[in-house]
Structure 1
Amino acid sequence: MERHPHGGCTMTEVTKMEPQGAQTPVMRAADQMVAMIERVVTDPSADLDKLERMLAMKERMDAQSAKVAFAQAISAARAEIPPIMKDATVDFSNKEGKRTHYQHETLAGIARVIDPILSQHGLSYRFRTSQDGGAVEVTCIIAHADGHSEETSLRGAPDQSGNKNNFQAVGSAVTYFQRYTLKAALGLSAAADDDAQGAGPRPEDRRGPATVSPDQFVKLRDKCEEADVDPAMICERAKVPSLEQFPAADFDAVMRKLQLTIDQKKPTIEGDEIPY
């Protein structure tokens, strides 16, 4: 250890003895605010209005600090979460005998992968479900231990595909929205379960075109129902197994065509005819 001839520490030693704190500027400012509040509280002549303003400022600083901690935790967790394997298969035929066949990841399969990682970073998730006017809405809430949370919602009609009854249609829509709001909130990607063949290099040309987002899927499904068009016909023309895998590049075009079909079915009013 270096010491000054008169017994003092050199600048090098002082530099080494400085604490290596990991506090952010927001956290340091919050600590200073706490000290100021403590001084005001212990002062008999303190201005209560000033104290209330300081407490309100402290709440805003705490909220900002929690938001920063949330962003850091999400970033760290996402760096550790691998692509989710598609561990379930949908395979059914409609009343006309047209087959729908595709793979998707289950909510349980997603949970097995992400739950331990999220927990390590102080993150958790839950769902809020509601129904209004026949529509189903699911909200995924991602929360951090420091108090900040963010929400992602999807809303749409019950899933009537595959000869489901009313209860099954609602349950299917809820499960679908839970899966996709969670994926959207965390920015998760999915990969087909290829029986471990994916351990080797994957050529770029094996990647298919970008598919519709969860929100676009709901809009497309609802538009098909409004136009009284079988989704299987849309999928057949696009050469995809399901609406979930409909090409995003063709979304706007097919929505325009479906709307045109709807418009053509609307009754027209001629002359002084009064519609009843």
Structure 2
Amino acid sequence: MTLPAENLRQIEPVGIAVMTPVTPMALIERAMSSGADMAVIEKFVELHERWEKNQARKSFDEAISGAKAEIPPIQRNAKGHNDKRYADFAAIAKVVDPILSKHGLSYRFRTSQGERISVTCVLSHKSGHSEETTLSGPADASGSKNAIQAIGSTLTYLQRYSLVQMLGLAASNDDDGKSAADGEMISQDQVEQLIALADEVGADKRAFCQYFKVDGIAQLPAMEFNRAVAALNKKRGAK
């Protein structure tokens, strides 16, 4: 039997309350609107500042982890004492600068000179968090350098090593052009392929590196390349 229309109750949709995380800033606003005294508000302001610093540090750590997963070993392009090959600062910057920028990171240097020359590498994230490392050394008076050249040589050396230390960079031993199949790690082309594929399928690069037990994609053993490609393609199929 059909009930008369006047006997039917209109059922209103019931909304589901979504819990919004209470941030320190929200607490400050509530305290101010309720007329809380200044001491209470100051406590909330201190809490907010600590919370922002913690969030910035987390963003910094995530950015460093993501960047390191993409930075390949730097090719040794110069010769030093005893013909020992090394990667000069220009070679390092050419590789790392665009990757750091992609992850919201940048670096700068502070210098000071007393009995020794000191260089501080400051690595910063766009969130506001920064970390630094300092190296010191005497002026490099080797060869026929004058006083200014000796200082410049040490500054360049310390800038290069402080940046390397800050980022935990690795220099490639592949100086003779051997193929990836003959070496220990994948080639730069393969690094770029994996990074592009990871971005395409939305893979977490840090989780990817943890799965293969490497610090970065560039440290992936050459023999694991095909398995890595298969793993990323599998993620595409799972989406």
Instruction: Give the letter aligned to residue 98 of structure 2.
Output: P
TM-score of the pair, normalised by structure 2: 0.66
User: Does 2:167 correspond to 1:176?
Assistant: no
In the alignment, the residues of structure 2 paired with residue 52 and residue 127 of structure 1 have an alpha-carbon distance, to the nearest angstrom, of 35
Residue 194 of structure 1 deviates from its aligned partner by 2.1
User: Is the CA contact 1:103–1:192 (under 8 Å) kept in the aligned structure 2?
Assistant: no
User: Does 2:84 correspond to 1:102?
Assistant: yes
In the alignment, the residues of structure 2 paired with residue 195 and residue 145 of structure 1 have an alpha-carbon distance, to the nearest angstrom, of 39
Residue 193 of structure 1 deviates from its aligned partner by 5.2
In the alignment, the residues of structure 1 paired with residue 184 and residue 59 of structure 2 have an alpha-carbon distance, to the nearest angstrom, of 38
User: Is the CA contact 1:89–1:103 (under 8 Å) kept in the aligned structure 2?
Assistant: yes
Matches within 5 A, 1:112-151: 112-133=94-115, 135-151=116-132
Q: 2:142 aligns with which of 143, 161, 173?
A: 161
User: Does 2:25 correspond to 1:34?
Assistant: yes
Partner secondary structure for residue 125 of structure 1: strand
User: Does 2:48 correspond to 1:58?
Assistant: yes
Indicate the residue corresponding to 1:197 in structure 2: 178
- Larger Rg computed on CA atoms: 1
Instruction: Give the letter aligned to residue 164 of structure 1.
Output: K
In the alignment, the residues of structure 1 paired with residue 13 and residue 58 of structure 2 have an alpha-carbon distance, to the nearest angstrom, of 40
Structure 2 unaligned blocks of 5 or more? 1-10, 186-239
In the alignment, the residues of structure 2 paired with residue 143 and residue 83 of structure 1 have an alpha-carbon distance, to the nearest angstrom, of 22
Instruction: Give the letter aligned to residue 75 of structure 1.
Output: S
Residue 161 of structure 1 deviates from its aligned partner by 1.9
In the alignment, the residues of structure 2 paired with residue 101 and residue 148 of structure 1 have an alpha-carbon distance, to the nearest angstrom, of 40
Residues 129-157 of structure 1 show CA distances to partners (whole Å, capped at 9, x for unaligned) of: 11012x10000000000000000110111
Residue 163 of structure 1 deviates from its aligned partner by 2.6
Residues 217-240 of structure 1 show CA distances to partners (whole Å, capped at 9, x for unaligned) of: xxxxxxxxxxxxxxxxxxxxxxxx
Partner secondary structure for residue 107 of structure 2: strand
Identity across matched positions, percent:
45
In the alignment, the residues of structure 2 paired with residue 119 and residue 155 of structure 1 have an alpha-carbon distance, to the nearest angstrom, of 27
Residues 91-111 of structure 1 show CA distances to partners (whole Å, capped at 9, x for unaligned) of: 6xxxxxxxx321111111111
Residue 33 of structure 1 deviates from its aligned partner by 1.6
Residue 71 of structure 1 deviates from its aligned partner by 0.6
Are the structure 2 counterparts of residues 127 and 184 from structure 1 closer, same or farther at C-alpha, using a change threshold of 3 Å?
A: same
